Amino acid sequence: MSVRLIPYQPIDLAEPAELVAAIRKRRGGQFINLDRMLLHSVPIAEGWNHFIGEIRNNLSLDPKLRELAMCGVAVLNGAEYEFIHHAPPFQLAGGTDAQVSALRLIGQSEFPSDLFNPTEQDAIDLTFQMTRNIKVDPDLIKRLREALGNTDTVELVSVIAAYNMVSRFLIALDVTPEEHSLTQ
């Protein structure tokens, strides 16, 4: 086992009490490795908990599209931790096993786009364009705006932008799935 360059905060971390309680509340009592890494900086952990909490819980965007975009970003950036955490909510929101498997092929020629409806295909295309190219085809935004409206289009773009930040944090600090870090 390799030594972590920056260790996780302890799983039983109690301070700062209000922030730890807020994170646990948002996560339904859980305290995951991402939280344990973020808590090296209280201001970052506070801002992250609030911002990502809003992205996860308070958007009008269809949860299936939200989680689809999160999974897509995870695959495109090689952030397996992110994919592990977002594939189950994608399925709870209506995603199928076949779609979860397909999401692992985003950006590859064998990606089975026919498993997704046209709006989902556009959301996947937006995820790819924002993650790999930064710039987005204006016609794609127009199609999404027609299908989703202004608010949900802005929210979808925000989800993709936010989860690109998440994946970059996870990868840079080698945040690993919880079952692989019980002794770390």
Is there a single domain that holds both residue 47 and residue 95?
no
pLDDT of residue 2: 60
Query: Which of 14-18, 61-65, 121-125, 128-132 is predicted least confidently?
Result: 14-18
Q: What pLDDT shows up at residue 30? A: 85
Residue 107 zone, left/alpha/beta (φ > 0; ψ -120 to 50; rest): left
Same domain, 54 and 107: no
Q: What is the pLDDT of residue 28?
A: 87
CATH number at residue 100: 1.20.1290.10
**Predicted local distance difference test score (pLDDT) of residue 31:** 86
Separation CA 85–CA 169 (nearest Å):
15
115 and 28 fall within a common domain = no
**Is residue 4 one of the residues assigned to a domain?**
no
Distance between CA atoms of 52 and 58, rounded to whole angstroms?
10
67, 54: one domain: no
Asked whether the predicted pLDDT for residue 183 surpasses 50, the reply is no
Rg (CA), the chain: 17
Domain match, 23 and 102 both:
no
pLDDT in tens, 101-140: 999 999 999 999 999 999 999 999 999 999 999 999 999 9
Distance, in Å, from the CA atom of 124 to the CA atom of 113, rounded to the nearest integer, reads 9
| E strand or H helix at 106 | none
Domain that holds residue 27: 17-58
Same domain, 37 and 77: no
How many other CB atoms are there within 10 angstroms of residue 146's CB atom? 11
* pLDDT the model gives residue 184: 38
Same domain assignment for residues 110 and 74 = yes
Closest listed residue to residue 129, CA positions, set 146, 101, 107:
107
Contact criterion met (CB below 8 Å) for 124 and 113: yes
How far lies 67's CA from each of 4, 56, 91, 110, 119, in Å? 29, 9, 9, 21, 14
Q: Within a domain: residue 75?
A: yes
- What are 73-99's pLDDT values in tens digits? 999 999 999 999 999 999 999 999 999
Residue at which a domain ends, from 41, 58, 75: 58
Cα–Cα dist 120/113, whole Å: 9
**Per-residue pLDDT tens over the stretch 150-169:** 999 999 999 999 999 999 99
Taken as a whole, the chain contains a residue count of: 184
Residue of 30 and 158 predicted with greater confidence: 158
Do 53 and 98 belong to one domain?
A: no
